[in-house]
Amino acid sequence: MPWKGISDPYKIWVSEIILQQTKVEQGEKYYLAFVKKYPSVADLANANQEELYTLWQGLGYYNRCKNMILAAKEIMHAHGGKFPKTHAEILSLKGIGDYTAAAISSFAFHLPYAVVDGNVVRVLSRVFAIKESFHTAKGKMAFQLLAQSLLSKKEPSAYNQAIMDLGALICKPKNPNCLECPFQRICKAYLSDEINIYPTKKIKLVIKERFLHFFLFEDKHHFYITKRTGNDIWRNLFTFFSVESDNAENVDCPTEIKIIHSVEPQMISQLLTHQKITGIFHHCKTNPQIVATLNLMQIKKNALSQFAFPRLLISFLEKNNYL
Ligand code: SF4
């Protein structure tokens, strides 16, 4: 790896950002091309975004490039073109998180900050039999504190490199080479023959799919809306009259509505944390009788912006030039 052993903070930064979502073998050629075209922070700060995107092609997550240019500009303006030397300043740069800040701080400046990446989490979870997942706030904190407590304050960069290498080369995700591992005698996972249960995997979220049919009652000057109450999404926000169904095509709604909705419905989806909501919007001619039965609020069309609607409904209203 061409970046191994280097102490130039700029090059460490470039390599770490490239490797965030990329395998080492694939990242190497990008790294070499990157530092050839932009050998210093100043070159990157003056980079043409389109040219950088072209060089980055294939790596994806283009936000990384954008953030790097912004951070490089900040280094030029706020730090006189010199890469900042404190952990806090490094961490404050755009696109630099805990891991990258610890890597630059320790490898470039020998500051005592422990890196915690996937390799480190795997080693620590096995040696100490930690069942907490790194993907929870509590777990992340626990791993950070443990790693920091183990760090050699005299040789933080050697320590960080060693534990990362151990994770990458010996304590591999599958078939770790325990017989050659220096921690074999104290590794709780090895001693209890439970290596495969560590580290605890990220819990996959089960996304529930829901279909909400919205009936937009409208006359020349008014819309008819309702406030959501109860223990469900969008509590206290305003929506149109709605009926939930288990699909987008059919809905079991009051008979009167069935008769009056005529226009082709529009569909818009939104992903919430645990739910995918698909809104099917039906335009309805106003029928005073139904409006009264459904207990809807009559509001002036130009007053629409005074009511708080969920994002999904705002998308619909904007799409139809109501907002
Ligand atoms: S003994 Fe095996 S499981 Fe434990 S740290 Fe070493 S390689 Fe990993």
Model pLDDT for residues 92-108, shown as the tens digit of each residue: 999 999 999 999 999 99
CA-CA distances (angstroms) from residue 273 to 68, 75, 208, 213, 215?
A: 29, 36, 10, 20, 25
pTM for the full predicted model: 0.64
Pocket test for ligand 1, best of 190, 192, 193 (most atoms within 8 A of CB): 190
- Percent of the chain exceeding pLDDT 90 equals 62
pLDDT for the residue 272: 83
Look at residue 311 and tell me whether its pLDDT is greater than 90.
Answer: no
Of 76-90, 254-268, 300-314, least confident by mean pLDDT is 254-268
d(CA 98, CA 101): 5
Q: What is the mean pLDDT of residues 167-195?
A: 96
pLDDT in tens, 102-133: 999 999 999 999 999 999 999 999 999 999 99
Enter the DSSP assignment of 67.
H
- Assess whether the C-beta atom of 170 lies below 6 angstroms from ligand 1: yes
Q: What is the mean pLDDT of residues 59-77?
A: 90
| Topology, domain 114-204 | Endonuclease Iii, domain 2 (1.10.1670)
Closest among 126, 130, 139, 137 to 186, alpha carbons compared: 126
Look at residue 155 and tell me whether its pLDDT is greater than 80.
Answer: yes
Pocket test for ligand 1, best of 187, 188, 194 (most atoms within 8 A of CB): 187
d(CA 201, CA 250): 39
- In single-letter form, the type of residue at position 173 comes to P
- Assess whether the C-beta atom of 178 lies below 6 angstroms from ligand 1: yes
Enter the DSSP assignment of 234.
T
Pocket test for ligand 1, best of 126, 163, 174 (most atoms within 8 A of CB): 126
Of 34-48, 55-69, 243-257, least confident by mean pLDDT is 243-257
Residues sharing a CB contact under 8 Å with residue 257, sequence separation 6 or more, in sequence order: 215, 241, 282, 284, 290
Containing 166, the helix (H) or strand (E) segment is none
| Topology, domain 208-319 | Nucleoside Triphosphate Pyrophosphohydrolase (3.90.79)
Do the two domains 1-111 and 208-319 of this chain adopt the same fold? Answer: no
pLDDT for the residue 258: 57
Nearest CA to ligand 1 atom 4: 187
- Assess whether the C-beta atom of 103 lies below 6 angstroms from ligand 1: no
Q: Given 16, 132, 209, 244, which residue is catalytic?
A: 16
pLDDT for the residue 255: 61
Tokens representing 304?
């629409």
pLDDT in tens, 257-290: 655 555 678 999 998 878 999 999 988 777 777 7
The answer to whether 16 is a known catalytic residue is yes
Look at residue 37 and tell me whether its pLDDT is greater than 90.
Answer: yes
Nearest CA to ligand 1 atom 2: 178
So where are the chain's domains?
1-111, 114-204, 208-319
pLDDT for the residue 235: 85
- Assess whether the C-beta atom of 176 lies below 6 angstroms from ligand 1: yes
Is the peptide bond prior to 199 cis by the omega test (within 30 degrees of 0)? yes
pLDDT for the residue 57: 81
Please state which CATH number belongs to domain 1-111. Answer: 1.10.340.30
Tokens representing 155?
């040789």
Q: How many residues would you count in the chain?
A: 323
